[in-house]
Amino acid sequence: MKAFRLPPTLAGLFRRRSINRAPSPLLARSVPWISVMLASLLPAWLFIASTPYVPPFGFLALVAWRQLRPGLMPVWAGLPLGFFDDLYSGQPMGSAIMLWSVTMIVLDVIEARFPWRSFALEWLIATALILIYILVCLGTANLAGAAAPIGVLMPQALVSVLLYPIAGRIVAALDRFRLIPIMDIGE
């Protein structure tokens, strides 16, 4: 394997010269993790919101990656990624660590139970997970001192469920990006 070399021009990247090329292992491994972390930061940066209407993008990205590429992220990925989300989300520390870890396990169980899944079933599973996640997040925030009523969650729940397929498409585009063959192999 020769040294890492980018194509001379950006156009070269899109010409898809795939013979004698392999995806960069660094890119292929890091993109899922980095994209989930950026998605965790996104709700904080996107709007200064006076109501919680921004979807939990980090959670959407995690579920989307897990559904697109089962086994790409280990079952324990909820621990580090949830920790990062907790630092920025405003939820009490530990809320996302616990819920994301449980989500990864639940998705694994669902995968074993329904090996063949359609788009509708995946969206249904994601919808259930998102709604439960948002509800439990309200519960943990209220335990830690807040007293928000449940009605506050309606817009966020609706937007999150409707945005999930789009989050899935973005994750799919990132998946293609991470597997672009850019490394020169062989003679």
Partner 1 sequence: MAPSANRRSGYSRRAQYGMFFGYIAGILGALVGAGLLIVSIVNPGAFSALRGAAADAASPGGEAVAEGRAAGRSFYEVVRGYILAGSHNARLERELAVAKTKLAEAQAIAEENRRLKALLDLAQEEPKPVAVTQLVASTGSSTRRLATISAGRKRGVAVGMPVRSPLGLVGRVLEVGGLTSRVLLVTDTESVVPVRRAADGIPAFAQGRGDGRLQLRLINLGHNPLKVGDVFVTSGSGGLYRPNTALAVVTGVTRDGAVARVLSDPAATEFVTVEPAWTPPAEAQALAPPQSRKP
Which residues bind to partner 1, rule: CB under 8 A?
A: 41, 43-57, 69-71, 74-76, 78-79, 82, 86-102, 104-105, 108, 111-112, 115-118, 122, 137-138, 140-149, 151-153, 156
Q: Would you say how long the chain is, in residues?
A: 187
Query: C-beta of 14: minimal distance to partner 1 in Å?
Result: 27
Closer to partner 1 by CB, 57 or 183: give it: 57
Closer to partner 1 by CB, 11 or 147: give it: 147
Closer to partner 1 by CB, 8 or 145: give it: 145
Query: C-beta of 173: minimal distance to partner 1 in Å?
Result: 17
Closer to partner 1 by CB, 21 or 88: give it: 88
Query: C-beta of 91: minimal distance to partner 1 in Å?
Result: 5
Contact assessment for residue 33 and residue 44, using Cβ atoms and an 8 Å cutoff? no
Query: C-beta of 16: minimal distance to partner 1 in Å?
Result: 25
Which neighbouring-strand residues pair with 22? Answer: 183
Judged on CB neighbours under 10 Å (0-12, 13-18, 19+), 127 is middle
The structure tokens listed for 166 are: 């789009």
